[in-house]
Structure 1
């Protein structure tokens, strides 16, 4: 059974320069299981939201960016459409 829970996960990553930011952003955009993401360059944090397996996503990001990934926070989120004020935006908007 390939059922995945909806999660909101915050990761700590090293975002040193614009190239690092772009590499992380491209990796996130390629992942279909993510509904939305938010990259905080100042604090070196990446937040992702969607229906996924947290460890699988962290491993994928690590492999695609060749950067250390640390899971800071993981919490279950409501499913799609439940309190989603983005209007089906997806991409790099605000976290619900």
Structure 2
């Protein structure tokens, strides 16, 4: 399995996060989606960062919009390769 060579996407969204209820709805919607590995929700700045391999940014934005009933604006989508552990697979320090 060549895990470290898969395209890895990082997407930044802008959303209105007014209260803890909004935060929880966004969090639940992200946790239910497949293909996402991690997320970061910044309530203060109204930003949501989603990371994962092989997901469609438009599909994620649409699903979040439908599940949270909030306006979603895609700010940035970039591809990166996840950092391989030092020494490669199976390396013991």
What TM-score comes out, normalization by structure 1 length? 0.76
**Aligned residue-pair number:** 79
Matched, 1:66 2:37: no
Q: Could you say if the C-alpha distance between residues 50 and 70 of structure 1 is closer, same or farther in structure 2, counting changes exceeding 3 Å?
A: same
Larger gyration radius, structure 1 or structure 2: 2
More helix by share: 2
Segments of structure 1 that go 5 or more residues without pairing to the other structure are: 86-96
Gaps of 5+ in 2: 1-5, 86-93
Equivalent in the alignment of 1:53: 56
TM-score of the aligned structures, taking structure 2 as reference length: 0.79
> Which stretches of structure 1, 4 residues or more, deviate above 3 A after TM superposition?
none
Q: Following the alignment from structure 1 to structure 2, what is the Cα–Cα distance between the partners of residues 84 and 29?
A: 25
Structure with greater strand share of residues: 2
Residue of structure 2 equivalent to 1:39? 41
Per the TM alignment, residue 84 of structure 1 is displaced from its structure 2 partner at its CA by 6.1
